[in-house]
């Protein structure tokens, strides 16, 4: 199995076999939970797209490009996926849209400043991007329809390779984790290309890793699967960062095609529905 498949399958196995069942009154479901899980993946050895089951490739590609656009209304993204539609507020925007938080919400463009800082000083350890707004997010009931789950990430360059460490407060491991892993790994590769360095290590640390009770049969199926799929190598189209910022729809199709043309996953595991949960 690929490195990501191996680490991910072990994470699911740990949750199924060792996790604690916690009732969730906000969603009406129970989650089986484990604290403090970490996945560590070398992007030069392979792009971490799950092959233990089929996942939708275009979805995470389009989402990351939308993030880099810095938008907080979903019209551009809707041509590819309706994934954020249920989080649209009455004014037509998404209050906690990640890209908008990165590029506008705090009064400065964190992404632009991070890239400029690392270009000028590759040894910098100041590449901290914040999504969570402590002035109004969480710490009790929240009236917004969405709160950031990946709430901060850091970017640094070590040995000529760009590394991204993503910290997630809460992760639906059957549906959210493979999506977030591939998406933020793609983001790291776009940053590396922009800065003219090699991709490095993508680390995903999860404070509250869980499987919903209605996903446990699928989780049990997944941990029995084995395959011999090779690591997938992704080479980005030129100028991916600039094209993403400009909202180039062809970039979504090009990256999706470069992945799907070498993507041979096991069959989909059906019957999993997203649970919307403000906590």
Active site residue 149: yes
The encoded tokens of residue 183 equal 């998406």
Question: Is the Cβ–Cβ distance between 8 and 50 less than 8 Å?
Answer: yes
Nearest to 47 by CA among 174, 191, 261, 199: 199
d(CA 219, CA 236): 32
* 142 CB-contact burial (10 Å; exposed 0-12 / middle 13-18 / buried 19+): middle
d(CA 196, CA 161): 9
Is the Cα torsion angle 179, 49, 174, 9 positive or negative in sign? Answer: negative
d(CA 64, CA 244): 8
Nearest to 274 by CA among 214, 186, 189, 206: 214
- Identify the active-site residue in 94, 95, 96, 149: 149
d(CA 57, CA 200): 22
d(CA 92, CA 85): 10
Alpha helices for the chain (secondary structure H) = 3-18, 57-69, 75-78, 98-100, 110-120, 176-195, 216-222, 240-245, 249-260
Supply the DSSP symbol for 105.
I
Catalytic center residues:
149
């Amino acid at each position: 199995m690929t490195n990501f498949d191996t680490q991910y399958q072990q994470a699911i196995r740990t949750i199924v076999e060792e996790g604690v069942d916690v009732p969730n009154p906000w969603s009406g479901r129970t989650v089986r939970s484990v604290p403090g899980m970490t996945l560590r993946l070398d992007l030069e050895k392979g792009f971490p797209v799950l092959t233990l089951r089929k996942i939708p490739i275009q979805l995470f590609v389009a989402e990351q490009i939308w993030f880099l656009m810095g938008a907080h209304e979903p019209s551009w993204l809707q041509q590819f996926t309706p994934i954020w539609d249920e989080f649209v507020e009455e004014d037509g925007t998404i209050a906690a849209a990640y890209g908008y938080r990165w590029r506008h919400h705090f009064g400065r463009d964190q992404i632009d400043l991070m890239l400029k800082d690392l270009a000028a000083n590759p040894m910098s350890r100041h590449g901290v991007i914040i999504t969570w707004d402590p002035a109004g997010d969480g710490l009790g009931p929240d009236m917004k329809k969405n709160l950031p789950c990946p709430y901060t990430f850091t970017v640094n360059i070590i040995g000529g390779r760009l590394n991204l460490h993503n910290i997630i407060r809460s992760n639906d491991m059957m549906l959210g984790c493979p999506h977030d892993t591939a998406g933020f790994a793609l983001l790291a590769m776009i940053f590396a290309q922009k800065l003219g360095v090699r991709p490095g290590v993508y680390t995903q640390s999860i404070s509250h890793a869980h499987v919903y009770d209605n996903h446990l049969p699928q989780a049990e199926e997944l941990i029995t699967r084995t395959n011999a799929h090779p690591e997938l190598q992704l080479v980005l189209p030129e100028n991916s960062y600039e094209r993403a910022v400009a909202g180039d729809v062809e970039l979504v199709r090009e990256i999706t095609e470069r992945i799907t043309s070498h993507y041979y996953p096991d069959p989909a595991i059906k019957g999993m529905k997203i649970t919307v949960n403000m906590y």
